Structure 1
Amino acid sequence: MSSFWPRHTAKILSSDAPSLHHNLIFALKSCETTSKIRQIHGHMVKTGLDNVPFTLSKLLAASIIDMDYAASIFSYIQTPNLFMFNAMLRGYSLSNFPNKALPFFNELRNRAIWLDQFSFITVLKACGRVSEVGVGQGIHGVAVKSGNRVFVDVKNALLHFYCVCKRIEDARKLFDEFPEGNDLVSWNTLMGGCVSVSQPCLVFGLFRKMCWVGLEASVATVLSLLSAAGYIGNFGVGKSLHGYCIKIGFSSNLNDITALIDLYAKVGHISLARQVFDGVAKKDVVL
């Protein structure tokens, strides 16, 4: 096993307990394959660290790169804590089996463990990926009852869920409930949702209101605006947005440049699209 450890943690086997914990956690963070995690897991079993909740939680969090392996670890934990449940929820929400996050969330609730923001954010991501509208609405209700809905990260996760499920009216209702609690991510999420359901006029309306409340546009904002302008085929708006990109310094962002080229192409100005293309020093395959 010594060949696995980085040189500056090679003394891990002879370290005292605090240093041992620190080195294990450092090593786990650097793991990119299941085989390396298995080596650390084996060492933890030999030294009894697999019975320490803190180090076991860190092992589980690192293991979500292989959810089958993470699930095998979790199945042997008699009293999993919130961090462990959240690690599994995150793993499944990012995996090829996001639907498996839903029974984990139910089990977490059944154990009467107090949920935190991360619990809701991860399970809502999973719901959005599998378009579980009814389940997501139920989780929305739980977030309200538990008081977690007041957190902007949870609100934004709900907005994203409704937008990816094409429930723009529900997203707009949530957005308007407490407008003072909306941040730039909230505005960008709703604008992106409006683009996805082909409602470009709503995008421009939201942008005007966003500017009125004093928020500055981000790359995601401009991307939604360019996509909306391309959808309605408005060359004048497209030219204005091009100038706006230059003014605020986003004229070198590949995502925005790609959307701008797409916009010019849709309104029939291929020569302008080519000028923008030729002005990019480093091009990717999408561009």
Structure 2
Amino acid sequence: MATTETFDRLVLIEPGELAVALDGPHPPLVLDVRWALGDPDGRLHYRAEHIPGAVFADLDTELADRPAPGQGRHPLPEVGRLQEAARGWGLAEGQPVVVYDANGGQSAARAWWLLRWAGVADVRILDGALAGWTARGLPLATGDVRPEPGDVVLSAGHLPVLTADEAAALPGNGVLLDARAPQRYRGEVEPVDPRAGHIPGAVNAPASANLDADGRFLSPERLREHYAALGTTPGRPVGVYCGSGVTAAHDIAALAVAGIDAALYPGSWSAWSSDPERSVATGPEAAPNAEGADR
């Protein structure tokens, strides 16, 4: 089993390491997962510049199902649909995958989590995102990549998830983390979901706090310290949610770098706040002083 000092190697890949792998005999599939709340032009950004050979993965249509009552804005896709999308990206059985975006991995982490949930063993996030690649002077390409179809076989359930009831109960015997920006957690603003606030008992852990000033993940030691301050301790269950199950995956990736397992509440706040039977809390309950994006 990996030590805590090597967990980051199971989650992240450096730009130089990716460049070498792409020139090797068995290159990984690279997915461009550019997406942001309020920015529908991820594919246009991809066409303008991307890592050579990268295939665009559409978060709204390929990495999520359609919004549905009780399921939130980005429900987990049915695994057969995800397999069809993955084969369309050219993913072959046993092939490693690298995912990246232009916002520190906060949308790429959704692809990282979802593919691992579907049984792809080797999926890593490009540390430093696209900016880290260009900072190294590495090349970019334009246009669309149209790969040959892959033959990957996917199956659901390889990572843990929480139902709404399980998320509600978790603060009683574990830690429920809210990966949204503090102002949304506190209920001061709510730009997209029906009600403002957070799940009672949840602790604010903005995804942006996982990154340093250069947009790279903090070291495993610093992440362990950060999450310990939020209440994570060995053997204590951890769950994460955000707006719709996107940036929560970034917290889960950061926790994995720190050697901590965590479950995702896929419906997240978009599902919780849509249910009038669910209680809502507001205010600075255990909220750290950090600003960040959320999905």
TM, length-normalised to structure 2: 0.23
Structure (1 or 2) with the greater strand fraction: 2
TM, length-normalised to structure 1: 0.24
Structure (1 or 2) with the greater helix fraction: 1
